[in-house]
Structure 1
Amino acid sequence: MFELTTEITLLLICAAFVAGFVDAIAGGGGLITLPALLLAGVPPVTALATNKIQGLFGAGMAAITYARAGHVNLRRQLKPAVLSFFAALFGALSVNALPTDLIRWILPVLLVAIALFFALKPGLDDTDRHQRLTPAVFSLTLVPLIGFYDGLLGPGTGAFFMLAFVAMVGHGILRATAHTKLLNFASNVGGLAGFLIVLSPLWAIGLAMGAAQIAGAYLGSSLASRIGARLIKPLLVIASTAMALKLITDLL
């Protein structure tokens, strides 16, 4: 039986603060909070649902901070965010119907590829480049695909959104990071809605961690807004590589 002591609560709140900071800059905050919840003794499915609660606060705070700094127009993202929400909801409801074990084997390869892309591709900075997809096509294809994945599994969602904005929309590193946050917020809410149909998360600890996520996300997005690609690129490479290694370790 899971027992929420004061010590466990404080550790989970600290983990959420660090995760909010990292996630606001490069994604991958779930790499910190989900293992922390599992180590605290929270049952796996309950941990996934609770992780969605706290994660949506960090993504929401980062989205607001980047918007205030002028890096993203949140009103223009409302329609893609709705698509991300419903795709994640559908993904969460499809967990038992799809080969998630196969996807878990593919994920580390994709995350390593993302890390190599941002580490080795020359010229990646905060400058916008050639747009390969129109906003409408991007919103109708890649946004629901990544949102669906977030509801289905989740690790690396921020990195996938980031890569899509850089490679397909042509955004610079900072602008791409800013544009991932509302979509990630929406997919967190959609995934949580799917979990709520079948179970009840730990609301108290989820909300407490959410408050810490807000503080961490505000600090991380504020720093990223000032420093840009020089901070975001290395942290993204580290986060993607760490997620890949964690997933490989879990599989083996």
Structure 2
Amino acid sequence: MELSTLAILALVAFTAGFIDAIAGGGGLLTIPALLTAGLPPHLALGTNKLCATFGSATASYTFYRRKLFNPNQWRNALIATAVGALLGAILAHWLPSEWLNQFLPIVVFACGLYLLFSKAPTAPTTTDAAIARGRQWPQGLTLGFYDGVVGPGTGAFWTVSSLLLYPLDLVRASGVARSMNFVSNACALSIFIISGQVAWLLGICMGLALMVGAFLGARTAIKGGSKFIRPVFILMVLALTARLAWQHWFGLT
């Protein structure tokens, strides 16, 4: 791969990491970039998981250090996400994903409408507000499985579903999304490594760029709060919808 192409992919990865740490949807940038660079689909997915793991690890650790994510409250979700991601990645090699791609724009658009017309989320009265544990299982299994099979938009889905299910503001919901995204990325990556579908040098270079972008994005999200994250998130959801509909409904790239 030419050095100029590698530099462009690293820049794309930096941008994706920054956006993904704030609102999710970074895979919408990196996967098409890898495919455009000439990587076969499965190799592109595996390499994307490698660099995405770098970025999600950085972003989730940043939220954790700022005490915006408590692993003890989310133990069930962490386990369920890991199981779902492993199953999804295993099935990704033979389970047709076309039907998911057809309905994905509808789901994403619904998420965008929810945030567009709902009131801005407010912080709970206490940072130790009770988090229901039972509903974490279906949420983690479903989103973990989706991330293992397909991937793009998982962070956005985690953010929206967490806002709907738990007493969280948008900043803390973003912390949950980044942490769960790291778990599903790492578990799915292990399957792609076993199957030999990872371009290591390219993935590491993009991963380092993603780490820098994710670090800056997470700090920006924390400082900016819900007022900053909300419009960025809505724009990402609508952009994701348009890109997916363009590709999967009309067969265009």
- Alignment partner of 2:135: what SS? helix
C-alpha contact (below 8 Å) 2:27/2:48 kept by paired residues? yes
Counterpart pick for 1:218 among 196, 200, 215 = 215
Q: How far 1:181 moved relative to its partner?
A: 1.1
C-alpha contact (below 8 Å) 1:126/1:174 kept by paired residues? no
**Root mean square deviation, CA, Å:** 1.7
**The 10-residue stretch of structure 1 (135-144 or 191-200) with the greater mean CA deviation from structure 2:** 191-200
Determine the structure 1 residue equivalent to 2:51.
Answer: 54
Determine the structure 2 residue equivalent to 1:150.
Answer: 147
Structure 1 segment 45-124 matched on structure 2, within 5 A:
45-122=42-119, 124=120
Counterpart pick for 2:10 among 10, 13, 21 = 13
The question of 1:36 aligning with 2:28 is answered no
The question of 1:172 aligning with 2:173 is answered no
Q: Which amino acid aligns with 1:119?
A: L
Alignment partners' CA distance in 2, 1:138 and 1:128? 19
Structure 1 pair 78–8 and aligned structure 2 pair: CA distance change class (3 A): farther
Q: How far 1:134 moved relative to its partner?
A: 5.0
Alignment partners' CA distance in 2, 1:68 and 1:189? 20
C-alpha contact (below 8 Å) 2:17/2:55 kept by paired residues? yes
Determine the structure 2 residue equivalent to 1:127.
Answer: 123
Alignment partners' CA distance in 1, 2:238 and 2:231? 11
Query: C-alpha deviations, 1:153-191, integer Å up to 9, x for none?
Result: 112101111111100012111110011111100101121
Alignment partners' CA distance in 2, 1:196 and 1:82? 21
Q: How far 1:77 moved relative to its partner?
A: 3.6
**The 10-residue stretch of structure 1 (234-243 or 90-99) with the greater mean CA deviation from structure 2:** 90-99
C-alpha contact (below 8 Å) 2:25/2:153 kept by paired residues? yes
C-alpha contact (below 8 Å) 2:124/2:168 kept by paired residues? yes
List gaps (5 residues or longer) in structure 1.
Answer: none
Q: How far 1:150 moved relative to its partner?
A: 0.5
Q: How far 1:75 moved relative to its partner?
A: 4.9
C-alpha contact (below 8 Å) 1:125/1:173 kept by paired residues? yes
C-alpha contact (below 8 Å) 2:80/2:138 kept by paired residues? no
- Alignment partner of 2:29: what SS? helix
C-alpha contact (below 8 Å) 1:126/1:228 kept by paired residues? no
The question of 1:241 aligning with 2:228 is answered no
**The 10-residue stretch of structure 1 (93-102 or 186-195) with the greater mean CA deviation from structure 2:** 93-102
Q: Which amino acid aligns with 1:17?
A: F
Q: Which amino acid aligns with 1:145?
A: T
List gaps (5 residues or longer) in structure 2.
Answer: none
**The 10-residue stretch of structure 1 (166-175 or 193-202) with the greater mean CA deviation from structure 2:** 193-202
Query: C-alpha deviations, 1:18-76, integer Å up to 9, x for none?
Result: 00000000000001111111111111110000000000111111111111222112354
Query: C-alpha deviations, 1:57-98, integer Å up to 9, x for none?
Result: 111111111112221123544553232122111011112554
Counterpart pick for 2:188 among 176, 184, 191 = 191
Compute the TM-score of the two structures, normalised by the length of structure 1: 0.92
The question of 1:207 aligning with 2:208 is answered no
Query: C-alpha deviations, 1:193-240, integer Å up to 9, x for none?
Result: 222332331011111111111110111110111111111111111111
Q: Which amino acid aligns with 1:100?
A: S
**The 10-residue stretch of structure 1 (155-164 or 19-28) with the greater mean CA deviation from structure 2:** 155-164
Structure 1 pair 13–96 and aligned structure 2 pair: CA distance change class (3 A): closer
C-alpha contact (below 8 Å) 2:76/2:137 kept by paired residues? no
**The 10-residue stretch of structure 1 (176-185 or 96-105) with the greater mean CA deviation from structure 2:** 96-105
Q: How many residues align?
A: 245
Compute the TM-score of the two structures, normalised by the length of structure 2: 0.91
